Amino acid sequence: MEVSDAELRELVRAAIAARLARLEPPPAASAVHASHALLPLARGGDADGLCLIEPAVRCNHCGYCLSFGH
């Protein structure tokens, strides 16, 4: 079976396009879920005080108070 240069180029382009289509993430996968967002709460230093979530302990800057709890 003889294949012309133009037909070979078209086959290679089609194969590359098919491979690239499988490598691209779907559009929804690139979106950040709302549970990963952080709230705009000012952070203090280690000597600033108690945890906002558990006031019986000192703040260890875990970031839980900046999230929606997820």
pLDDT tens readout for residues 2-61? 889 999 999 999 988 888 777 766 566 556 677 777 777 766 555 567 888 888 888 887
Where along the chain do its domains lie? 5-66
In terms of Cβ atoms closer than 10 Å to its own Cβ (0-12, 13-18, 19+), residue 57 is exposed
Structural contact between residues 58 and 51, judged by C-beta atoms closer than 8 angstroms: yes
pTM over 0.85: no
Give the tokens for residue 41. 């709460």
Structural contact between residues 42 and 49, judged by C-beta atoms closer than 8 angstroms: no
- The one-letter amino acid code at 7 reads E
Q: Which pLDDT score is estimated for 22?
A: 76
Q: How many CA atoms lie within 13 A of 61 on its CB side?
A: 7
